[in-house]
Amino acid sequence: MKYLMRILFIAIFLICLKDSFCQDSTKHYFKEIGWTIHVPLGFKVLGIDQHSTMVNSGKKGMEQALDTTVNTLKAINLISARKSRNYFDASLTRINSGIETTKANFIKSQEEAIYKAFSKDAKVDSSSTTMNVGSQIFRKFEIVVHINETASFGMNMVTKAYKGYYFLIAYVYLDKETKQQIETMLIESMFSAYE
């Protein structure tokens, strides 16, 4: 049980979960990148009032789990939502568009840190592929954490350099139905052609 709590704490930090309740919502538009999504019914869109506290305490937990210093980037949170213990988060980090190698190395380092943090206490499967989000192709890193013979959960990081930002979509799911809901939301999302 101690390991399960540690693993879930790390997952929550990684997607910058804000633990406050708001009402159900469906359509959300983000002008920074011209992106529109329809959050599935049953998900609660979360507020940002506890964001800094969560990131700071999560950073300390990650540093302890990895026995190293964890660097975080200043991000713009677009949206966080939850359905029971399933989470979804989208954020932007301003980047220098001329440094492709730095962006690729940063994404790879995030994936390696996540794998290392989870694999300390559980069996982990991971894969990298691409995913269509709206009309854009994103890099998708998926990790499935097997806590024991019958319990597991998945975490996906979907990333892309887009319009001067590092665009990160992260989600944790405990069942295939919720994973499908989130991925359908992403596939059916839209980017404005004229933004």
Domain holding 34: CATH number? Answer: 3.40.1000.10
- Model confidence pTM above 0.85: no
What's the pLDDT tens digit per position in 79-102? 888 888 888 889 898 876 555 556
Angle between helices 100-119 and 51-66 (to 10 degrees): 70
Q: Taking residues 46-58, report their average pLDDT.
A: 54
Which residue would you say has higher pLDDT here, 132 or 154?
132
Using alpha carbons, list the distances in angstroms from residue 40 to 43, 132, 141, 168, 178. 6, 18, 22, 19, 10
Which residues form the domain of 120? Answer: 2-191
* Distance of alpha carbon 33 from alpha carbon 23, whole angstroms: 24
Nearest alpha-carbon partner for 113 in 141, 92, 79: 141
What domain count does the chain have?
1
Residues of the chain above pLDDT 90, percent: 23
